[in-house]
Structure 1
Amino acid sequence: LGGRAVLWCVLVAAWEAAWGQLRYSVPEELPKGSFVGDVAKDLGLELPALRYLSILDRGRTHILDRGRTQYFSVHGKTGHLVTAERIDREQLCESVQQCVLRCEVIVEGEMKIYKIEVEIRDINDNAPGFREAEKELRMSEMTAPGSRFPLAEADDPDSGLNSLQSYELSGDEHFSLAVQAGPAGAQRPELVLAKALDREASAFHELVLRASDGGDPARTGTARIRVVVLDANDNAPVFSQAEYTVRVPEDVPVGSALVTVTATDADEGMNGHVKYSFQKVSLKASQIVQLDAETGVIILVRSLDFEEAALYELQVQAEDGGSLLDAVKVTITVTDVNDNAPEILVRSSLSEISEDAPSGTVVALLRVQDHDSGANGEVRCSIVGSPPPDGTKQPELVLEKSLDREKQSNHHLILTAVDGGDPVRSGTTRIQINVTDANDNPPVFTKEIYKVQLLENLPVGSLAFQVTATDGDEGTNAEITYSFSDIAKSARQLFALDSRTGDVKVTGPLDYEEEKYYETTVEGRDGGGLSARVKVHIEILDVNDNAPAL
């Protein structure tokens, strides 16, 4: 080159009238040495006239490098303007719609300065981006549909169609996207609640916000949005059963868990924390069972007694931390255990009975009871048998066989009642019955025939003999009166019978020579009118009471 040229380049934001003798337009991000324009040809200069190239700093606030970076150079042999560096439009012209670099070419021989403007065109080399790739939003499940929530905007440093153009939301039907227009054409995305939330159905909603530019092909950037649904106390506790029914034996140990009621609450935290209490309970039931407020376990605190109460009905309520509640009926049925022995009660009885009482005579009226139920309360008596099928008559103690006081004057009876339980239980009672006498025994003489021998010289008043009879009865029925029932007149004059003792005494002189033999009959009669007779043979024995006679 015969001369030297100088080129100054300046980054500007707008065209000025004093500039623009040459104007070129190139895309950003060209490699170093890329062709911009043919300066020599376009200015009509001879190649040797280009002396040197320099950068001119006009002091613009939008010049990032303050002119220290040389972005272009002139090819000495061709006179072409080429890139001296890779140019990033977004770095040079951030927030500027039109990006222009200004250069000056000085021709030394002509002492002229030629002004060159190079527009740096945007290419779609940047995708829209969000400051936060993930965002969490917290919403109450009671949030009204239609509510709006601003979302972070995406940033795309490109310009024109290459800049951010649209937003799109994907996720589920509960949310939609609205885009509001801001200053200078900015787009402000808003999340819109389209459908009522229900934490119990879904506690989280995962959404994707997509930002797209208008390049070809388009570039996109995404941000994940996680909506956390905060619980509201919109669910009452619900018991697992419509009614709780349990059957327990009456001998279940104190401290046992009889039944557990369970209620669930779909809410969370305190709204889902359930406590149990009695809503309705009788005084008796409150003394028998206790309810654990946290677990819902109903515990036995006092022994059950089927005979005292066979059924307990309770109302249990479950209340959450937000005062919503549910109630359920609990029925506890106590089943019988054979824990009671039968009892035999003597309602009325004869302390004594005549021995001539007929069979079937009622001796005692009994009452047999067993507080148990079913087979445990079915009682069989070992004396008279079971009650009639209708159960309306209590058992009776009756005389089965004839009595005989003379063989047994009293009876000690043990009555036993046995139930049908397993194991079997029994009860007993004692009855003493005295058998009273009936005149069922006639007197019985000790001998079948009394044979008596008397000396004829037996003095008057002497005991000749004694008849004796016994009577198996007692009292007046056994008091015997003796008498002669068949006696000759001659004998009646000689003998006298004591009616009480049966002693026979001589009342007249005996004389062998006049009467050697007497026969009589003695009757013994008891106080009841029964009698017996016995023969008495009296033989008079001779004594030497007479001298011989001449």
Structure 2
Amino acid sequence: MCAAGRRWGRRQRAVLWAVLLAAWEAAWGQLRYSVPEEMPKGSFVGDVANDLGLQLPEIRDRGARIVSEGRTQYFSLHGKTGHLVTAERIDREQLCRLVERCVLRCELIVEGQMQVYGIEVEITDINDNAPSFREAEAELRMSEMTAAPGSRFPLPDAHDPDSGRNSLQSYELSGDEHFSLAVQAGPGGDQRPELVLAKALDREEAAFHELVLRASDGGDPARTGTARIRVTVVDVNDNAPVFSQAEYTVRVPEDVPVGSVLVTVTATDADEGLNGLVKYSLKKITENPADFPSGLDTGAITLLQSLDFEEGRLLRTGDVNDNAPEISDRDSGANGAVRCSLEKDVPFRLEKSFDDYYRVVTARELDREQVSEYKVTVRAADGGSPALQSSAVLALRVLDVNDNAPVFAEERYSARLAENNAAGALVLRVLATDADAGQNARVRYRLREGRVRGAPLSSYVSVQAETGALYALRSLDYEQVRELQLWVVAEDGGAPALSGNASVRLLIADENDNAPRVLYPPAGAGSGGAWSGVELAPRGSEAGALVAKVVAVDADAGQNAWLSYELAKATEPGLFRVGLHSGEVRTARSPLARDAARHSLVVVVKDHGRPALSATATLSVLLADSVAELLAELGGAAEAAAPGEPAGGLTRWLVLAVAAVSCLFLAFLLLLLALRLRRWRRRQLLPPAAAAALRGVPVSHFVGIDGVRAFLHSYSHDVSLTADSRKSHLRFSRDSCCDTLPARPLPDEPKPLLGDEDSAAARPSDPSAPSDLRFSMIMHVGQEMSWHSSILSSLSRM
């Protein structure tokens, strides 16, 4: 029984631990999601609220947030939806370069519940990288004799930062029949390409083999990378010299002069370099072959001694030393010992090759650009006493290699081109020189491609390949393009070609091709006799008072955009003047009573170009000192604009406004009189003590003058008077209000048109903007109301 009880107790404890572990995993378990890399910011990762059973109010109100390891936060919690979204664009290859499975971890902290939930997000790979080779070009050297078929040569391998099927999967080789591709598997599962020689090489058949190695991944679609393989076949001496004839027969008379060339033999060798260099020598057939020496390089057999037919001398072929002069000494012993030497300070030295044969070799590196030709003197001296010597001169020409890039005469070029040029106009010439010779020094020019205002640079300018002349392909406009920055590349004809660069700055010079444009007054103002935009001036203005301002601009630059203003035409000459540079229209003198009320001014705006361009602006100016005079003039203008019609809308609306204000004033006046009578009646009915108690009550507690003032203040608003909505308008100040209206003037004082002088002087004027003399529509009405207000004030003090 005891043993069974113990076993049952152990089972209960195991079940309890399993339940506790499941509850722990449920409470503290990990959320796992998967998302592809390179997703844009804000992309959906997982529904955290739904997966954890959280309500959206809990997430919003209890301070839920996402915390990630490190400084960069790759995920965030969307508070409205409870979704886990990406906070940054994630690059798997950057984060997990050496890890096969890329997992980012973060925690969801719910501060209100004091709970932490772990989240794992696996970043899956997409095929966003192509296989690439570390070197785009590789060169292999193979000997044509020692490289046997089946030989293997390692090739450069490719790298793909993607993983799985998106990583590197296969290699392909394209070329010729001499080579094939083999891929070996490395210890880590990587692939190592090898080049297999399938057929023996023959340099005389093909000295170079061009192959293309292509690496592909397993993505859909697949991405590829290529590398060029250049196989150079190294020559070996596998070909013997071959004479042009197997036998040379020469018939020579015995009296032929000494030194005559008897015959020239030629032989060729299919090898290259030293293996293809042919030298000639004589084999001994007669007793004295020295009678017929031959040149080592030329194969020319010359006669050294006279021939004697009776002695039966025959002709033989022989070799001649072409690297050093051959000096023959008939002496013997020490007198016949020959020593050869070169002059000092030359980059050459002598090497003894065989017996008395020498060859000239380079002692240091040669530079053709410094010295292109050498004349080397070879001296030969014997060992006699006194020593005898002779000399020969070798002319050596240094061949050129492409070791110098073209150099421009100037690093930076600049030129000016007037706008509106003809297409194909010559801008300038660039010049580059190359210190090399022949094809290596042949320079060609081209433009480095760029863009101007969204169009290719080559659509604006071009360069002549041979001469370096730069031409403008289109007519340029200074107002659109003010300068062009471009690069000219000079490339020589070597293999590989070398190049140099020079910058060119093309400045577009402005021409006076834009007339001034008038901004104010607007186009059409005052044209045809219609007043569209009336400038107001009081008749009491002093000399120099600002009436209006003509504003104009010019799209050109420099002096082509300098503007001057002058008054070309005026209804009353001498009344107005225009500032030469400011365009301000001011009174030249005080207006007189005999001056007309309406004036038309024509202002000419000129620039300082050659030739000068101009524009005109027409201003309509109205002189008026009172509302009646103003209305009369505007009414006359309306009747002139539309003859035969009733009074203009301006007069009609103003009359209605005055009538409405008068009616309202009478209504308030009657109401106020009724209230005063009622107050007086109560004062008669109330005892003196009660009357004394009401004396301290403010008047504003009753319906009194404060209500009228509030009405007057609210009634003052911005209004535009229009004589004809299609043609004429009159602007009034937005600052006018009953609180700022002047009091009614005394009969002997002139009526101000635009307010008192203090308020007009305190109002600042902007010299850069048009001067708008604006008239308040409610001037007259406000004055009437101010009289009404004074009457009401006197009544309220009753």
What's the TM-score once normalised by structure 2's chain length? 0.35
Higher helix share: 2
> Which structure has the higher relative contact order (CA within 8 Å, separation 6+)?
1
* Structure with higher strand content: 1
Scaled by the length of structure 1, the TM-score of the pair is 0.50
